[in-house]
Amino acid sequence: MNEERLLRRYQALMGAVPQSVWVMSPGGVVTLLSGGGIAEKLWTPGTDTSWMDAVHPKDRDWFQRAWRRATQQRSSLDTIVRVRLDGAVDRFRHVKIIAAPVIDEDGEVEFVGTATDAEEHWRARMREKLLARMAAVPAARDLSEAFLTTAAAVVPELADAVAIFRLVDGVEAGVRPADAPAATSPERVGLAPGLPSMPPLDADFVLGPVAQRAIESQEARLLVFPPDGPPGEGLSDVSVRWLREAGATGVALLPVVVDGRTVALATIATCRGNPPPDEADLSLLRDVFQQMSGPLRRTMELQSIRGKALALQQSFLTAPPSIDGLTITALYHPADSAAEVGGDWYDAVRLSADALALSIGDIAGHDLDAAMAMGRVNSILRGLAYDSGPAASPAVTLSRLDRIVQALDSPSMVTAVHAVVLRRRTYGGWHIALSNAGHPPPLLIPADAPSRYLHGLTAPDPPLCVTDDLTRTTLRADLHAGDILVLYTDGLVETPDTDIGDNLQRLRTRADALARRNLPMPSVIRGLLPPLHHRRDDIAIIALQARPDS
């Protein structure tokens, strides 16, 4: 009688708590002891169905390993796993599973445990985790980087694939006509392992009508596909082909809105039998992408500044003049960064039929202010060079420039090389006179000898805007037929965590290798550029070669 009373009390207690209590064989067959609750919706007790069949496909591998380890080691299990509700094909809940082994007198083991609905707890923790990850993201160097960061946050935890289509012009809410498709630029995507790669999209790619409506309405849309895959209507043909190949079960379309303007459309897909996103997933995804509005806004502002600085800088970087007997090549590569534009310049001024002034320089700073300062300094030096004429000393010209720039209280520091190149009528070739104000040394690549740097016996003169009273020096060299003189900015030879001396030596070695191939001078100059992934700063180069007929 006492045992029956204790059993009734135990059952009453189990019925009063929110957990379901169950017992499970090592093979995974569940018998419900008490409680009902979430467990009644997860498994049907008394059947031979293993609970692994109800576990979410994405969780099945790791959960099987955890359960196998618990049964082999006869240890406890405490975890949260997604499990399909009984009778619902694609409806899953996060459930907290706690299980402990019980060993009988014969040494046989079974597990007794609890199952508690943990959906709200999991979503709150996931939201905190993702939003914290996104809050730590600074303004990216470009929009592609910002979107990739977002894609990495949701793949594979919330989705199997993320593709982001950036709107080329943006869309003001309610402004674009319904029949005018938004121009898009596809970004790189985040893909879970095992999925097919996204097909390349040409410039004429247009999103399907469902995506266009999401962009225009600025409202998220959820598409759940039938078992045979996405239908042919509503989506672009390219998208449908890829979604079918990937075994997509659903897609969430989220417009990315910044300051009332749709700047992109994020498409988030679940694939390979994984259940499609539901309204709760859509809400969480919406929160994640909305969190990106701050970094995206800053990135777009930086891109706007960079565009203005680049346009201003390009307006000052005019094409070199034509001089008989000389081939002149100039190029400029901005840093691969949103704001790092503005400090470098080159210039060439024809002083007479037989004389050329050549300059290159770098303004401290990388922003719109640096671009504006570069324009002022470059214009002043150009005017001084033309006014001084072919007979002027480059050292004197730089000294005059230094005094003017300091008087104008413009940039904090300027490095520059200024050279005057004169034709030698009697002996042939050209004579070079140059002065270096704290700039990397010019490189001379002779046609019949190893390359060398043009520098004096001591260090170069200090940069401009450093000291008031300074006598600057002039260096001299000759340029024979086929020789190349290269003036460049420090982005060509300076990279973080490297030695400038080693980099200068590598530049000489590369120049010698290119010269031995008898390439045209423009090809030689392009060959001096480091690989794209090594470029951390602006690079400006202006070079000239004495032609054999000079």
What span, in angstroms and rounded, lies between the C-alpha atoms of 530 and 510? 10
Structure tokens given for 27: 């093979």
549 vs 346, residue with greater confidence: 346
Structure tokens given for 495: 């990279």
pLDDT band of residue 280 (cuts 50, 70, 90) is: confident
Of these ranges, 143-147, 297-301, 433-437, 454-458, the one predicted with the greatest mean pLDDT is 433-437
What span, in angstroms and rounded, lies between the C-alpha atoms of 8 and 2? 10
What span, in angstroms and rounded, lies between the C-alpha atoms of 330 and 250? 52
Cβ atoms 415, 437 nearer than 8 A? yes
**Mean pLDDT of the 160-187 span:** 57
Per-residue model confidence as pLDDT tens digits over 46-69: 555 566 777 887 788 888 899 888
The DSSP symbol for 461 reads B
Whole-number CA gyration radius for the chain:
35
Q: Which amino acid is at 522?
A: P
Of these ranges, 296-305, 365-374, 438-447, 495-504, the one predicted with the greatest mean pLDDT is 438-447
Cβ contacts of residue 499 below 8 Å, gap of 6+? none
What span, in angstroms and rounded, lies between the C-alpha atoms of 81 and 96? 7
Task: Inform me whether the pLDDT recorded for 137 exceeds 60.
Answer: no
257 vs 380, residue with greater confidence: 380
Cβ atoms 333, 346 nearer than 8 A? no
**Mean pLDDT of the 62-83 span:** 87
316 vs 415, residue with greater confidence: 415
Of 177, 179, 181, residue with least CA distance to 167: 181
Structure tokens given for 388: 């001084």
pLDDT in the model for residue 516: 85
| Residue written as token pair 């470009």 | 142
Of 155, 160, 245, 173, residue with least CA distance to 216: 173
Structure tokens given for 68: 């196998």
pLDDT band of residue 338 (cuts 50, 70, 90) is: very low
What span, in angstroms and rounded, lies between the C-alpha atoms of 48 and 176? 58
pLDDT in the model for residue 134: 63
| Residue written as token pair 């005018």 | 180
End-to-end Cα separation, the chain, in angstroms: 120
What span, in angstroms and rounded, lies between the C-alpha atoms of 420 and 133? 56
Q: Is the dihedral of CA 512, 514, 520, 522 positive or negative?
A: negative
Of 296, 338, 335, residue with least CA distance to 147: 296
Distances (CA, A) of 210 to 97, 178, 248: 40, 12, 17
What span, in angstroms and rounded, lies between the C-alpha atoms of 42 and 46? 13
What span, in angstroms and rounded, lies between the C-alpha atoms of 521 and 482? 9
- Please state the length of the chain: 550
pLDDT in the model for residue 408: 78
Q: Which amino acid is at 127?
A: R
Task: Inform me whether the pLDDT recorded for 209 exceeds 90.
Answer: no
What span, in angstroms and rounded, lies between the C-alpha atoms of 178 and 57? 40
What span, in angstroms and rounded, lies between the C-alpha atoms of 403 and 419? 19
Upstream peptide bond of 156 is cis (omega within 30 degrees of 0): yes
Cβ contacts of residue 46 below 8 Å, gap of 6+? 31
Cβ atoms 74, 233 nearer than 8 A? no
Task: Inform me whether the pLDDT recorded for 42 exceeds 60.
Answer: no
Which range (43-57, 339-353, 423-437) has the least confidence?
43-57
Task: Inform me whether the pLDDT recorded for 96 exceeds 80.
Answer: yes
**Mean pLDDT of the 9-13 span:** 56
**Mean pLDDT of the 308-312 span:** 61
Cβ contacts of residue 352 below 8 Å, gap of 6+? 389, 390
- Average pLDDT value for the chain: 78
Structure tokens given for 252: 């969430």
Structure tokens given for 167: 């709107």
Task: Inform me whether the pLDDT recorded for 374 exceeds 50.
Answer: yes
Q: How many CB atoms lie within 10 A of CB 130?
A: 20
Q: Is 234 helix (H, G, I), strand (E, B) or coil?
A: coil
Q: Is the dihedral of CA 286, 292, 294, 299 positive or negative?
A: negative
What span, in angstroms and rounded, lies between the C-alpha atoms of 330 and 346? 8
Structure tokens given for 503: 């980099």
- Reduce the secondary structure of 385-440 to three states and give it as a string: HHHHCCCCCHHHHHHHHHHHHHHHCCCCCEEEEEEEEEECCCCCCEEEEEEEECCC
pLDDT in the model for residue 186: 57
- Element at 73 (helix H, strand E): helix 57-73
Task: Inform me whether the pLDDT recorded for 222 exceeds 70.
Answer: yes
Of 460, 360, 468, 362, residue with least CA distance to 411: 362
Of 510, 503, 535, 538, residue with least CA distance to 525: 510
Task: Inform me whether the pLDDT recorded for 131 exceeds 60.
Answer: yes
pLDDT band of residue 542 (cuts 50, 70, 90) is: very high
